């Protein structure tokens, strides 16, 4: 047994009947219509509960929840800068640890959260996150990945998928949009030896909330990469956020899995995968792609998924035993 | 009674921070600050200091972690200098705006390029507009004393601002000096336990660091400036309280033989000690020279400084940083002083000298030359600033 699987021995999941009623992020925030990111934040924080300290990176979820004198936050929350949420949470966690030990406070069971968008995580905040994961602080990091710098107006990040048109990777005569493959942040977190790493999306809310709950039970750092549709940036309908997220899973573009103590578990096997064109066609950020570009992407998505399945042998072996 | 010991100043500063019973130290190593954080991690490792030492991966994360820690209500310390300060400077503005009483020792060092690990005040000046209180030590004893006073200043309910304790890199940080280490019991009496007004508390949630739109940003900045303004007399009161507890009196501006001085040197940090020796020599030759030393650079004690220098005909203003101003206006320390002189309609003859850059020694002879240069200059002859002791 590893540190995480040990801590999860008595894990009991959420279901539709026992969803937490708390709303640490209150309604009335200023997100765009159809925002998949704030939905993910709401679901995640419901699972975290109110005994928490939250450190926010600069970005959409910071701007829309904290326009002074209003705040959507019902838990203690701090925003400092763009690239340092993981470092800020390191300090907060260390402070609680020290003050609890010195009996200055008696709050031993607080859950520490840091979150940022994909730019704040995979680009500018990568170093701070790497440091915090490596040092082993007891916290959860949520990356709400909407695949570009949406808060500043849809500029590409290293998490923007290949072929997507953004305002700094525009499709044009000499460009097919983003020319690089999406950085795999979950794998980077795994490589740090974080005891709990998972991927999730608000299209599968129970799965997302269960993963957050598990992350909060595991001592040490946990990383959850949350695929968060942005109708504004992806140029899909505001009513299509959940649909596009579901298609991302069903087309193998964004597989849902957990890595517990370094062992991979597929959360949802895609038995009959949908073609990637189903996923592309409702988002205008991909509309310029040619057939050959689409088939190149399909090939690479398939290969990536197969590689993930191979890592998930543990799960298969378990099933064989059963 | 505390006894005098010989100790490296960095080690003594770390011991002083230990006496202040800090809860969290988050720091990243950079020469010449290293001995301070090494010794703090040693104190933690040996069980002499009950604190969390967070060995962050950069100075940017050092200040970020300090902000998280101080916002959580912990007494928090870090140390840096030079490039490290430059890297964390983004967060320094935020630490003061969030009103977090972090204390940071800066082992003052030049800023690249060329890369240079030696002493000047480039980092001190880099920090001047960040909203921090800046204290400046001249010797090891002062570095120790100011480190302790810094927590009282930072945590004062009427101030609540972060404080920098500046000590010259190598010249102070790496020297073994005779000094008196305060007793733990006395420090406890002088520095009560930190009780934050607001903290990241799940039982009483607050939002730190919200968005400030144009309709509130100016008010927020003014409120912060009001506190910095209000801090000046309180800092002096705290220095007075320090004197009562420990017997060593500090002032916002320290003076040396200024009463009848015709020429007054104004400077900061360890070069003042050389300057005072030079002054003794010049006095022996019958020259009426004195010195005013700026102990607190932010808030700038203009009134106290002018009171100290207003009788002088000649001023030798020292800047330990390059003034990239184009040659027609002075270096940063001289600018403050000239501005204060103008406001009071005082027009002494002023020479501004850029000295001791990147570890360049500044000698007694240099002081004599600068004093002579200003004293003998005709009206309008002195440039806005000039380099001293430089090969042309």
Give the nearest partner residue to B69 out of A91, A104, A107, using CB atoms: A91
Judge: B64–A91 Cβ closer than 8 Å, yes or no: yes
Q: Which residues of A touch B64 (CB under 8 A)?
A: 80-81, 84, 87-88, 90-91, 128
| B94–A contact, CB cutoff 8 A | yes
Contact B81, B123 (CB under 8 A): yes
Judge: B24–A95 Cβ closer than 8 Å, yes or no: yes
Eight-class DSSP state of B305? H
Distances (CA, A) of B270 to A167, B97, B218: 53, 30, 38
What domains are there in chain B, each with its CATH number? Answer: 4-246 (3.40.50.970), 253-387 (3.40.50.920)
Q: How far is B68 from chain A (nearest CA, A)?
A: 4
As a whole number of angstroms, the distance between CA B222 and CA B216 comes to 10
User: With 80 as the cut, is the pLDDT of residue A117 above it?
Assistant: yes
As a whole number of angstroms, the distance between CA A211 and CA A222 comes to 10
Judge: B200–A63 Cβ closer than 8 Å, yes or no: no
In chain B, DSSP finds a helix count (H) and a strand count (E) of 12, 16
What is the chain A residue with the closest CA to B66? A91
Q: What is the 3-state secondary structure (H, E, C) of A69-122?
A: CCCCECCCEEECCCCCHHHHHHHHHHHHHHHHHCCCCCCCCCEEEEEEEHHHHH
Q: Which residues of B touch A75 (CB under 8 A)?
A: 202, 205
| pTM higher than the cut 0.95 | yes
| A53–B contact, CB cutoff 8 A | yes
Judge: A95–B58 Cβ closer than 8 Å, yes or no: no
| B90–A contact, CB cutoff 8 A | yes
As a whole number of angstroms, the distance between CA B278 and CA B286 comes to 13
Give the pair of three-digit tokens for residue A38: 């704030």
Q: How many residues does chain A have?
A: 322
Q: In sequence order, what are the residues at sequence separation of 6 or more whose Cβ sits closer than 8 angstroms to the Cβ of residue B365?
A: none
- β-partners of residue A198 are A224, A258
How many A/B residue pairs have CB atoms within 8 Å?
169
What is the chain A residue with the closest CA to B93? A80
| A81–B contact, CB cutoff 8 A | yes
Q: Which residues of B touch A73 (CB under 8 A)?
A: 205, 207
Judge: B57–A131 Cβ closer than 8 Å, yes or no: yes
- β-partners of residue B5 are B179
Of the candidates B337, B329, B286, which has an alpha carbon nearest to the alpha carbon of residue B310? B337
| B334–A contact, CB cutoff 8 A | no
Q: In sequence order, what are the residues at sequence separation of 6 or more whose Cβ sits closer than 8 angstroms to the Cβ of residue A113?
A: A45, A48, A52, A53, A54, A55, A89, A139, A140, A141, A142
Give the pair of three-digit tokens for residue B365: 């002879």
Q: Assign B267 to helix, strand or coil.
A: strand
Contact A137, A53 (CB under 8 A): no
Q: How far is B71 from chain A (nearest CA, A)?
A: 7
Judge: B72–A107 Cβ closer than 8 Å, yes or no: no
Of the candidates B356, B15, B376, which has an alpha carbon nearest to the alpha carbon of residue B168? B356
Q: Which residues of A touch B55 (CB under 8 A)?
A: 135
Report chain A's mean pLDDT, rounded to a whole number: 96
| A135–B contact, CB cutoff 8 A | yes
- What local confidence, expressed as pLDDT, does residue A322 receive? 41
As a whole number of angstroms, the distance between CA B252 and CA B328 comes to 29
- What local confidence, expressed as pLDDT, does residue B323 receive? 83
Of the candidates A87, A111, A107, A95, which has an alpha carbon nearest to the alpha carbon of residue B194? A95
Judge: B72–A55 Cβ closer than 8 Å, yes or no: no
Q: Which residues of A touch B76 (CB under 8 A)?
A: 91, 95
Radius of gyration of chain B (CA): 21
Q: Assign A140 to helix, strand or coil.
A: strand
- Element spanning B207, H or E: strand B207-208
Q: How far is B102 from chain A (nearest CA, A)?
A: 12
Of the candidates A38, A107, A99, which has an alpha carbon nearest to the alpha carbon of residue A73? A38
CATH of the domain at A88: 3.40.50.970
Q: Which residue carries 């950020």 as its tokens? A: A285
The angle subtended at Cα A81 by Cα A107 and Cα B98, nearest 5°, is: 60
If one counts the domains in chain A, the total is 1
- What local confidence, expressed as pLDDT, does residue A315 receive? 53
**pLDDT level of residue A268 (50, 70, 90 thresholds):** confident
| A95–B contact, CB cutoff 8 A | yes
Q: How far is A136 from chain B (nearest CA, A)?
A: 11
| A84–B contact, CB cutoff 8 A | yes
Distances (CA, A) of A107 to A52, A93, A112, B72: 10, 11, 12, 11
Judge: A128–B91 Cβ closer than 8 Å, yes or no: no
Q: Which residues of B touch A88 (CB under 8 A)?
A: 64-65, 67-68, 71
Judge: A76–B201 Cβ closer than 8 Å, yes or no: yes
Q: Which residues of A touch B202 (CB under 8 A)?
A: 50-53, 75-76, 107, 110
As a whole number of angstroms, the distance between CA A239 and CA B378 comes to 79
pLDDT tens for A237-259 read: 999 999 999 999 999 999 999 99
Q: Assign A291 to helix, strand or coil.
A: helix
Cβ under 8 Å to A: B residues 62-81:
64-74, 76
| B277–A contact, CB cutoff 8 A | no
- DSSP secondary structure string for all residues of A170-221: -EETTEES--SPPP-HHHHHHHTT-SEEEEE-TTSHHHHHHHHHHHHHSSS-
Of the candidates B388, B369, B368, B294, which has an alpha carbon nearest to the alpha carbon of residue B334? B294
Q: In sequence order, what are the residues at sequence separation of 6 or more whose Cβ sits closer than 8 angstroms to the Cβ of residue B301?
A: B232, B252, B253, B294, B295
Judge: B68–A66 Cβ closer than 8 Å, yes or no: no
How deeply is A224 buried, as exposed, middle or buried, from its count of CB atoms within 10 A (0-12, 13-18, 19+)? buried
Q: Assign B392 to helix, strand or coil.
A: coil
Eight-class DSSP state of B183? P
Distances (CA, A) of A36 to A60, A241, A242, A297: 11, 6, 7, 24
Mutate to test the interface with A, among B88, B207, B212, B215 (most CBs of A within 10 A): B207
As a whole number of angstroms, the distance between CA B65 and CA A88 comes to 4
Cis, peptide link before residue B113, omega less than 30° from 0: yes
What is the chain B residue with the closest CA to A137? B54
Distances (CA, A) of B316 to A55, A229, B76, B124, B275: 49, 64, 38, 20, 11
Eight-class DSSP state of A25? B
B326-355 burial: b if 16+ Cβ within 10 Å, else e: eeeebbbbbbbbbebbeeeebebbbbbbbb
As a whole number of angstroms, the distance between CA A231 and CA A150 comes to 10
As a whole number of angstroms, the distance between CA B349 and CA B365 comes to 21
Query: How many alpha carbons fall within 13 Å on the CB side of residue A281?
Result: 7
Q: Is the ipTM of this complex over 0.95?
A: yes
Judge: B205–A87 Cβ closer than 8 Å, yes or no: no
Cα dihedral value B47, B50, B56, B60, nearest 10: -140
Give the nearest partner residue to A78 out of B26, B68, B202, using CB atoms: B68
As a whole number of angstroms, the distance between CA B358 and CA B119 comes to 5
As a whole number of angstroms, the distance between CA B172 and CA B53 comes to 24
- β-partners of residue A83 are none
| A23–B contact, CB cutoff 8 A | no
- CA B25 to chain centroid, in Å, comes to 19
Q: How far is A62 from chain B (nearest CA, A)?
A: 8
What is the chain A residue with the closest CA to B65? A91
As a whole number of angstroms, the distance between CA A247 and CA A241 comes to 10
Judge: B205–A97 Cβ closer than 8 Å, yes or no: no
CB atoms within 10 A of CB B158: 9
As a whole number of angstroms, the distance between CA B124 and CA B101 comes to 18
Cβ under 8 Å to B: A residues 147-166:
none
Q: Which residues of B touch A135 (CB under 8 A)?
A: 54-56
Spell out the per-residue pLDDT of chain B, length 392, in tens. 578 999 999 999 999 999 999 999 999 999 999 999 999 999 999 999 999 999 999 999 999 999 999 999 999 999 999 999 999 999 999 999 999 999 999 999 999 999 999 999 999 999 999 999 999 999 999 999 999 999 999 999 999 999 999 999 999 999 999 999 999 999 999 999 999 999 999 999 999 999 999 999 999 999 999 999 999 999 999 999 999 999 999 999 999 999 999 999 999 999 999 999 999 999 999 999 999 999 999 999 999 999 999 999 999 999 999 989 899 999 999 999 999 999 999 999 999 999 999 999 999 999 999 999 999 999 899 999 999 989 98
Q: Which residues of A touch B209 (CB under 8 A)?
A: 66, 78-80
Segments forming the whole domain that contains residue A175: 3-321
How deeply is A136 buried, as exposed, middle or buried, from its count of CB atoms within 10 A (0-12, 13-18, 19+)? middle
């Amino acid at each position: 047994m590893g540190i995480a699987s040990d801590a999860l021995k008595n894990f009991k999941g959420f279901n539709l009947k026992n969803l937490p009623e708390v709303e640490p992020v209150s309604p009335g925030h200023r997100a765009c219509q159809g925002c998949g990111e704030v939905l993910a934040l709401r679901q995640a924080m419901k699972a975290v509960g109110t005994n928490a300290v939250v450190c926010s990176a600069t970005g959409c979820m910071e701007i829309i929840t904290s326009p002074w004198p209003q705040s959507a936050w019902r838990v203690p929350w701090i925003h400092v800068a763009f690239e340092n949420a993981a470092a800020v949470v390191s300090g907060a966690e260390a402070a609680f640890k020290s003050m609890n030990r010195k009996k200055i406070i008696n709050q031993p069971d607080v859950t520490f959260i840091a979150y940022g968008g994909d730019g704040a995580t995979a680009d500018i905040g990568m170093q701070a996150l790497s440091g915090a994961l490596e040092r082993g602080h007891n916290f959860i990091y949520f990356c709400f990945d909407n695949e570009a710098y949406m808060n500043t107006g849809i500029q590409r990040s290293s998490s923007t998928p290949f072929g997507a048109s953004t305002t700094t990777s525009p499709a044009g005569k000499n460009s097919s949009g983003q020319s690089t493959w999406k950085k795999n942040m979950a794998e980077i977190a795994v490589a740090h030896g974080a005891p709990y790493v998972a991927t999730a999306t608000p299209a599968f809310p129970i799965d997302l909330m269960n993963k957050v709950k598990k992350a909060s039970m595991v001592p040490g750092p946990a990383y959850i990469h949350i695929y968060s549709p942005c109708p504004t940036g992806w140029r899909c309908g505001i009513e299509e956020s959940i649909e596009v997220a579901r298609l991302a899973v069903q087309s193998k573009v964004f597989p849902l899995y957990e890595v517990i103590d370094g062992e991979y578990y597929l959360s949802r096997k895609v038995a009959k995968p949908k073609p990637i064109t189903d996923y592309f066609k409702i988002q205008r950020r991909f509309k310029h792609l040619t057939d050959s570009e689409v088939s190149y992407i399909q090939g690479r998505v398939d290969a990536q998924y197969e590689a993930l399945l191979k890592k998930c042998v543990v799960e298969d072996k378990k099933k064989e035993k059963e | 009674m505390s006894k005098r010991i010989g100790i490296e100043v960095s080690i003594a500063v770390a011991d002083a921070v230990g006496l202040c019973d800090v809860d969290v130290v988050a720091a990243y190593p950079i020469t010449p600050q290293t001995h301070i954080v090494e010794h703090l991690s040693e104190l933690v490792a040996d069980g002499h200091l009950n604190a969390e030492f967070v060995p962050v991966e950069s100075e940017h994360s050092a200040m970020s972690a300090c902000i998280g820690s101080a916002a959580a209500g912990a007494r928090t310390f870090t140390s840096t200098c030079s490039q490290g300060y430059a890297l964390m400077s983004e967060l320094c503005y935020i630490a003061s705006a969030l009103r977090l009483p972090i204390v940071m020792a800066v082992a003052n060092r030049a800023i690249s390029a060329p890369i240079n690990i030696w002493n000047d005040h480039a980092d001190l000046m880099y920090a001047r507009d960040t909203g921090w209180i800046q204290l400046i030590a001249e010797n090891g004893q002062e570095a120790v004393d100011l480190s302790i006073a810094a927590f009282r200043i930072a945590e004062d309910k009427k101030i609540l601002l972060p404080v920098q304790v500046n000590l010259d890199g190598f010249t102070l940080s790496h020297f073994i000096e005779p000094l008196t280490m305060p007793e733990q019991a006395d420090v406890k009496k002088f520095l009560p336990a930190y009780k934050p007004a607001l903290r990241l508390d799940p039982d009483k949630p607050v939002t730190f660091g919200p968005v400030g739109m144009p309709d509130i940003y100016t008010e927020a900045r003014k409120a912060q400036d009001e506190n910095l303004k209000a801090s000046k007399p309180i800092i002096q009161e705290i220095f007075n309280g320090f004197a009562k507890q420990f017997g060593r009196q500090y002032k916002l501006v320290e003076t040396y033989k200024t009463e009848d001085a015709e020429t007054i040197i104004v400077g900061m940090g360890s070069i003042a000690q050389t300057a005072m020796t030079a002054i003794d020599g010049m006095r022996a030759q019958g020259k009426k020279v004195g010195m005013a030393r700026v102990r607190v650079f932010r808030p700038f004690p203009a009134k106290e400084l002018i009171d100290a220098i207003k009788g002088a005909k000649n001023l030798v203003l020292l800047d330990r940083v390059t003034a990239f101003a184009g040659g027609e206006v002075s270096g940063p320390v001289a600018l403050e002083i000239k501005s204060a002189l103008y406001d009071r309609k005082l027009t002494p003859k002023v020479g501004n000298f850029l000295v001791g850059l990147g570890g360049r020694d500044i000698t007694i002879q240099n002081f004599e030359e600068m004093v002579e240069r200003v004293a003998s200059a005709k009206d309008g002859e002195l440039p806005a600033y000039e380099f001293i002791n430089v090969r042309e």
